[in-house]
Structure 1
């Protein structure tokens, strides 16, 4: 019985340590996430405002506005 109680207590304590260790992101992880999101936004902005993509988007809008029902 002692071994069973000891094993369950150990599992409980080890589980609490693991939960504490993986409780959430730390500040550096938030910072890296923000940097990645900003980098993606910059790349997307550059692609959308480039010449060919911008011209194609304008053509799509013009066709949509000139559509006949």
Structure 2
């Protein structure tokens, strides 16, 4: 069976704040979680919170809601 222990983020990188999400420093081992946490969207268009400089990324992408073909391919 797969190990299902959750890796908790260190308090010095992601301090707990009631109404804000704060990243104090970059930690490559939490890159996938950081990209998800800092993603933004409006219900129609979503962008994953990847680095502006390009690399490193885990899953970069822009996502469009409800965009699909309506006729048989």
TM-score (ref. length: structure 1): 0.26
Larger CA Rg, structure 1 vs 2: 1
Q: Which has the higher contact order (CA 8 A, sep 6+)?
A: 2
TM-score (ref. length: structure 2): 0.25
Structure number having the greater helix percentage? 1
